[in-house]
Amino acid sequence: MGTWDAKHRQEHGGGATPTSAVSFRNLCRSSPWKWQSLRFEYAEAPGSATVRAWLRRPGALRLESDDGTLLGSTTGINDSRDGLYISATRKSWLLPAHLVTPVYDDGGLVRRRPEAAYGEPSFGNGRFAAALDPVELAGNAPVPLEFPNANAVELLEPVQQLAHEGRPALETVVSPNAGYRPLDPAAPLCGPGRTRIRIDAGTGVCVSAEPLDAEGQLPGHRIRILAVDEYMLDDLFVAEPMNLTDVRDHIQWPLRPNPA
């Protein structure tokens, strides 16, 4: 995975993520270039059931309940896509985001996103996918400074760096502007009024969205990241496991006696 971090972390120091409004928005654009697989726990609204998830880009998702019951998994990750390429539009030919290069800022965050095949697997509603790539909070690129309130959301408090479930994160309070376009209008990350948003600094995932105004607000969500870029076999995501042989174990090969 050709990310900025791998090439330039030592060159630019690789320290803590800056806590400016610009850096917060750039972090919201950075998720597709910061990780390829993620293991995490997801819950909507306080007191709701927690879902355990394994996600491998692009498009592979496994979901389990707290007691290990399988809730869902993708089944067509190895299907042929020849029909899609023949019958669809040029959008079908776009490369996955991690194969194209965005414009980075000096801290290694994405300032401008290129055209690519974006999109995360969804569960329940669009909030799940939006939280994994919260670009709706920033837009694909910076807006001209001369246009007030042109950003997707307005930052109402200074950006703070803190810890979320043992991982560094950036947090601020936001409210939507007229140009806010959520991935799922029925389940936006930022509802009417004020919302406290927390973005994981290492992955660019929106790990917490907490509504602060009761009137007209939708439930928020919370994510606990357990592992980043673990190796995940196809067996996690297909309907019928392939039961491949573990070649790390010694295999006994019985030999028939020589009939001398």
Confidence of residue 13 (pLDDT cuts 50, 70, 90): very low
The phi-psi region of residue 12 (left if phi > 0; otherwise alpha if psi is between -120 and 50; otherwise beta) is: alpha
The residue that leads in pLDDT, 235 or 89, is 235
Confidence of residue 14 (pLDDT cuts 50, 70, 90): very low
What does the pLDDT read at residue 1? 43
Report the alpha-carbon distance of residue 65 to residue 33 in Å, rounded: 29
210: Cα within 13 Å, side-chain hemisphere = 12
What does the pLDDT read at residue 218? 76
Q: Count of CB atoms within 10 A of residue 192's CB?
A: 14
Average pLDDT taken over every residue of the chain:
84
What does the pLDDT read at residue 83? 56
pLDDT in tens, 56-113: 998 899 999 989 898 888 866 665 555 555 556 666 778 889 899 999 999 999 999 9
CA angle 92, 98, 100 (to 5 degrees): 70
The residue that leads in pLDDT, 183 or 7, is 183
How many Å separate Cα 37 from the centre of its chain? 9
**Burial degree of 47 (CB within 10 A; 0-12, 13-18, 19+):** exposed
Report the alpha-carbon distance of residue 140 to residue 167 in Å, rounded: 25
Report the alpha-carbon distance of residue 188 to residue 83 in Å, rounded: 33
The residue that leads in pLDDT, 17 or 83, is 17
Does position 225 have pLDDT exceeding 80, yes or no?
yes
Instruction: Quickly list DSSP for 232-252.
Output: --GGGTSSS------TTSPPP
Report the alpha-carbon distance of residue 53 to residue 40 in Å, rounded: 5
Report the alpha-carbon distance of residue 159 to residue 23 in Å, rounded: 9
180: Cα within 13 Å, side-chain hemisphere = 21
What does the pLDDT read at residue 77? 63
Report the alpha-carbon distance of residue 33 to residue 117 in Å, rounded: 13
What would the two tokens of residue 176 be? Answer: 């939507």
Does position 245 have pLDDT exceeding 70, yes or no?
no
Q: So where are the chain's domains?
A: 4-236
What does the pLDDT read at residue 130? 95
Q: Please tell me what DSSP assigns to residue 202.
A: T
pLDDT in tens, 123-182: 888 899 999 999 999 999 998 876 778 899 999 999 999 999 999 999 999 999 998 999
Mean pLDDT confidence for 19-42: 95
Report the alpha-carbon distance of residue 10 to residue 223 in Å, rounded: 29
Fold of 4-236: outer membrane lipoprotein receptor (LolB), chain A (2.50.20)
pLDDT in tens, 174-214: 999 998 999 999 999 998 889 999 999 999 999 999 999 86
Q: Which residues pair with 195 in a beta bridge?
A: 174, 211
Q: Give 86's contacts (C-beta < 8 A, 6+ positions apart).
A: none
Integer CA distances (angstroms), 124 to 209, 217, 219, in order: 17, 18, 13
| pTM for this entry | 0.83
Question: 207, 200 in Cβ contact below 8 A?
Answer: yes
What does the pLDDT read at residue 113? 96
